[in-house]
A and B are shown apart, each in its own frame.
Chain A
């Protein structure tokens, strides 16, 4: 005999058919889970920009690594989002420039240092510098000039010397200070 409460509360009639759970590629972007159900070959860049409308990661125009404006962290490593098909990212943790600050809005020290040093030209390539800079600081707490020299980013406005200062400022724990 079924439990009494089942008789007391029958399942109401409904014509709502629950949507079948769609297959897809699960990724975690800036701490939030997402499932990509479109073309598995779609590069991460277009998933971010066209699907999620996370436009902080910029299109540099290239089919492969270009000026570095499209860099993101995949499991902590800086990679060009244009060169990462979604099918290669299943289960990966992705951080974009929008995810560098803490949830309460507190900036990452390198973001603050970029503001302190005014390390910005037109600002289009800046998200990419922040991503590769954060990866460098995570790898090497006190990066040398040679370490900084190896950053892959390009900038026509000439923000490089100010970026270098900002990385050193963040490394010295002086972000946000006069």
Chain B
């Protein structure tokens, strides 16, 4: 028995009966083929994000998006479980792996979107996942109505049980067999009204917490095939360099070492889809042998054209560009007439902010387990984007779309690094060369030395203030090397990874201009958590504080006047900016940190606000200085994401993003000289210690009923400017260059 309800032209709600009468409801894509349930242990691979209710009352919910620590393996299933009125204690969540079928040689993504850590999982899941739960619940209600002889609309559901008006109760488990045979109506049953939510909006701990604290949680790095060889790498220090000399004798003499192989990036492939640089791989029977063999390699590399580049020279180039009057690479926005407004200026201010290169530093090193059989590839990959990993494997193997099996266990941090799949390409290339399964493992020196970095940037902003302290002009010029070069993006869109046309204070200043100057660099660049908001918010929100200081005004007051009356503005990229909600988060953090003491507080108070794709964030930070010792006494963050699915998960994301951003702002920079990265380990790229970070992050979440926005990096952009603004109050030193600690000690 099975039936379906059309959701859209290509998507259906599907009902199926599983083993032992289990009721299965999922979303399927037009044309998807069911596989026999017996082969798959009762789960239907053709069915998308699904819910299965067993006759014993246990509920299984599939999670389609990789969880890199963002909590989606918890929050997405709770959206389904709430509509179902399931007993959360009886729900198990299983990661779905990549859902792909063969559509005449092309991939058919049967689970829809599968992407983690980009802030989009919850917004994308909100509509369709609820319908899965709602249909399952509707079927169970119909079955209960027949059993109890009571019309369905007089029954109610609670925690895995249907309850009749006279108090009789029937468990879901006892209803599944009948429910699977209920004829479907033409349209999907309505989803709940928010006043009936039980799980949405209620706090829930991470579904993997018990497995994690007992050491049972398995990451890709923990997976193994018995006969797989361990591969470790040394990459060429320069992406465009070459191997001049290699002596493998000592390596091959190490017991357990099987082979030494060379890898070359494939020509004409976009960055992130092939090896990041030429490399030498040591393959061995176990990790220790491989690592010893790697240490004994004798290699001489020859630099390419990039061998003369340095991060210092690139900054000089950026400064020179901003000193001159060359036309920008892209005029991102131009409202009014900044030049004409300058003539009416009562006061002007200009400042330059410099931010460094950054590395991803994921806790779990890059790794990939791959087995290539005659007509099948099986991989376990720590990835944020399994569909992109699939494309790399498919290109390298030429296999049919559905003969590539990609498993994605919980991922040990992504931050954008695992949207690229150079390490997957390397593992597949090695498996092809050696004709054995390969377990590729990167060491930390390779991770720091061969990343797709966040590029450095220089912002130069000038403000024109009128006679009534009103901001009448804003001229922002930014120079950076785009993260989108060599990634198939047209030149006129390269700026989109670097800045936004609708970021603050665009739309609030009558004469506003934003120019972007593209720099060239051989350093590989790619997506990074918080881009482009991180760098822009630091410059803009620091500068607004400087404007307030110039006007001898309370910076909270300056900001609130800039935001003006509550109203909405259309955003350049679609959607709206709700200035009332933005002002609200600002006021919330100000109240909590007792901003009224701003002027007379011994410690420095700093504040900042920002908006990211329909979500709003503000930070207030209290910092103290004793000699050269900076202490972050308090950190308060308020966020407004609309509907909150899991408040505990959201608090964790907000606190976590705050600490991540503070760690970056305080300590972190990648530098390179002679084309080589100078950071190799956590000593040279020192993530903040416990002592440097605040003891607590006080998180305020604004309740709301709008469709939920993503929050994975929402709390990052405002932490650094709030800190710099607090440091200014505490020390009278304005830090315009990150990392902050180094610059502060230089200026003190």
A residues with CB within 8 A of B: 39, 42-43, 46, 49-51, 53-63, 66-67, 69, 96-98, 100-101, 107, 111, 114-116, 118, 120-127, 130, 145, 148-151, 153-162, 164-165
Among A116, A157, A162, find the residue whose CB has the most chain B CB atoms closer than 10 A: A157
Q: Is the CB of A149 within 8 A of B660?
A: no
* Chain B proximity of A145: nearest CB distance (Å): 6
Q: Does B87 have its Cβ within 8 Å of any Cβ on chain A?
A: no
Q: How far is the CA of A161 from the CA of B68 in the complex (A)?
A: 19
B442, A114: Cβ atoms closer than 8 Å: no
B597-641 vs A, CB cutoff 8 Å, 1 = contact: the mask equals 000000000000000000000000000000000000000000000
Q: Are A56 and B216 CB-contacts (below 8 A) given A120-B209, A157-B413?
A: yes
Q: B686's closest neighbor in chain A, by CB? A: A154
- Tell me whether B240 is interfacial, beta carbon within 8 Å: no
| A156: B residues at CB distance < 8 A | 361-363, 413, 415, 660, 663, 687
Among B344-397, those with CB < 8 Å from A are 361-365
B215 in complex: contacting residue of A51, A67, A97, CB < 8 Å: A97
Q: Is the CB of B69 within 8 A of A123?
A: yes
Contact across chains for B288 and A39 when beta carbons are under 8 A apart? yes
Q: Does B743 contact A (CB under 8 A)?
A: no
Interface string of B687-701 (1 = CB under 8 A from A): 101110111110000
Measured between C-beta atoms, what is the minimum distance from A25 to chain B in Å? Answer: 14
A155, B690: Cα distance in complex, Å: 9
Closest chain-A Cβ to B366's Cβ sits at a distance in Å of 9
Cβ–Cβ < 8 Å partners of A46 in chain B? 286-288
> Given A118-B209, A156-B363, does the pair A123, B217 have CB atoms closer than 8 Å?
yes
Contact yes or no, B648 A118, CB < 8 A = yes
CA distance A39 to B292 in the complex (A): 11
Question: In the complex where A69-B363, A148-B690, A149-B691 touch, is A121 in contact with B215 (Cβ < 8 A)?
Answer: no
B444 and A58: CB pair below 8 A? no
Please give, as numbers and ranges, the residues of chain A lying within 8 Å of B411 by CB-CB distance: 122
Q: Which of B67, B215, B222, B410 has the most CB of A within 10 A?
A: B215
Q: CB distance B213 to A125 under 8 Å?
A: no
- Minimum distance in angstroms from B529 CB to a CB of chain A: 9
| B206-246 interface code vs A (CB 8 A; 1 in, 0 out) | 10111011111111011010000010000000000000000
Cα of A124 to Cα of B410 in the assembled complex, Å: 9
B659 on interface, CB distance cutoff 8 Å:
yes
What is the CA–CA distance of A59 and B439 in the complex, to the nearest angstrom?
Answer: 14
Number of residue pairs A-B, CB distance < 8 angstroms: 177
A161–B696 CB distance below 8 A: yes
Known: A150-B691, A161-B693. Is A67-B213 also a contact (CB below 8 A)?
Answer: no
Question: Contact at B210–A115, with CB atoms within 8 Å?
Answer: yes
Please indicate the chain B residues that have their CB under 8 angstroms from the CB of A123 in the complex: 69, 206, 208-209, 212, 217, 410, 412
Q: Which residues on A sit within 8 Å (CB–CB) of B364? A: 58, 122, 124
A168 to chain B, nearest CB (A): 10
| Nearest 8 pairs of A and B residues by beta carbon | A56-B215, A122-B69, A61-B444, A158-B659, A124-B412, A158-B656, A97-B215, A149-B691
Q: How far is the CA of A130 from the CA of B210 in the complex (A)?
A: 13
How near does chain A come to B209, taking the closest CB pair, in angstroms?
5
Residue-wise interface mask of B (432-453) relative to A, using a CB-CB cutoff of 8 A (1 in contact, 0 not): 0000000001111101000000
Q: A42-B288, A50-B288, A162-B655 are in contact. Are A59 and B365 (CB under 8 A)?
A: yes
- In the complex the two chains form, is B690's CB within 8 Å of A151's CB? yes
B363 touching A56 by the CB < 8 A rule? no
Contact A60 B288 (CB under 8 A): no
Contact B215 A96 (CB under 8 A): yes
Is the beta-carbon distance between B286 and A50 smaller than 8 angstroms?
Answer: yes
26 A-B residue pairings within 8 Å (CB atoms) = A42-B288, A46-B287, A50-B288, A54-B215, A55-B218, A56-B215, A60-B365, A60-B444, A61-B444, A61-B445, A63-B444, A107-B214, A118-B205, A118-B209, A120-B69, A120-B206, A121-B656, A122-B67, A122-B411, A127-B212, A151-B690, A155-B659, A158-B659, A160-B693, A161-B655, A164-B690
| Residues of the B chain whose Cβ atoms lie less than 8 Å from the Cβ of A61 | 365, 442-445, 447
- Residues in A with CB closer than 8 Å to B218 are 55
Q: For A116, what are the chain B residues with a Cβ–Cβ distance below 8 Å? A: 205
Minimum Cβ distance to chain A for residue B465 (Å) = 37
Chain B residues, Cβ within 8 Å of A63: 291, 443-444
The answer to whether A49 touches B287, judged by C-beta atoms less than 8 angstroms apart, is yes
In angstroms, Cα B36 to Cα A172, docked, is 53
| Chain A residues positioned under 8 Å from B222 (CB to CB) | 49, 55
Q: Give the shortest distance, in Å, between A11 (CB) and chain B (any CB).
A: 38
Bound CA–CA A66/B681 (angstroms): 7
Beyond A58-B363, A157-B660, 6 additional pairs, beta carbon < 8 A: A54-B215, A55-B221, A114-B209, A122-B413, A154-B682, A161-B659
**Docked pose: A26 CA to B374 CA in angstroms:** 43
Report B-chain residues with C-beta under 8 Å of the C-beta of A160: 659, 690, 693
Given known A-B contacts A39-B288, A61-B443, A118-B205, A125 and B657 have beta carbons under 8 A apart? no
Q: Nearest B residue to A108 by beta-carbon distance?
A: B213
**B694 A121 Cβ-Cβ under 8 A:** no
Within the complex, the shortest CB–CB distance from B121 to chain A, in Å, comes to 15
B-chain residues with CB within 8 Å of residue A101 when the two chains form the complex: 214
**A67–chain B nearest beta-carbon distance, Å:** 6
**Which residue of B213, B415, B441 contacts A130 across the interface (Cβ within 8 Å)?**
B213
Q: Is A118 touching B652 in the complex (CB atoms < 8 A)?
A: yes
B residues 443-475 touching A (CB-CB < 8 Å)? 443-445, 447
Q: Which residues of A contact B69 (CB under 8 A)?
A: 120-123, 157
A158: which B residues are within 8 A, CB to CB? 655-660, 663
